[in-house]
Structure 1
Amino acid sequence: MAGDTANKPGQIVKVSGIYSVVHDDGKDTFEVTCVKGEHFPPTRSGKGAHFELKYGATHAHQHEARKGTGSGTESVSQSRT
């Protein structure tokens, strides 16, 4: 078991990012994206699996570089040639 790094299905995601879905037997591990504030999804097996953060990432609308940019619906101009 992963100890403090194990997140169970149904718990609230504290850090957005890529998570490994790890089964207790260590087989069939795969990766999923989970978003801060949402719940970790249920697993097909129903039990014996947990989520481990592999790569943390800031969700786009919460990124520091976007603060003060308004509603987040800025238009992007594209030129066609």
Structure 2
Amino acid sequence: MVLDLQQVVANFSASWCGPCRVIAPFYSELSHKYPVLMFLFVDVDELTQVEKLVRANKSDLQKKATAIVNSVATSQK
């Protein structure tokens, strides 16, 4: 199984955040300048949490990571 992974740059922001609005156009410019990177905008007020991990639990984190990888691998078949 081969997964095509990219480096991800995530911008977690909110529409009411002044500094977030100021940096957004520059962040967008960078996404065009560096197409080898995957730039994401995440509005924290609109973010739906599909999964949640509470506390530093290695076993639960491993299970969630494995489930995500298996889900991606299955969808690529």
Q: Is TM (by shorter chain) over 0.5?
A: no
Report the TM-score when normalising by structure 1. 0.21
Report the TM-score when normalising by structure 2. 0.22
Between structures 1 and 2, the one with greater helix share: 2
Between structures 1 and 2, the one with greater strand share: 1
Tell me which structure has the larger Cα radius of gyration. Answer: 1
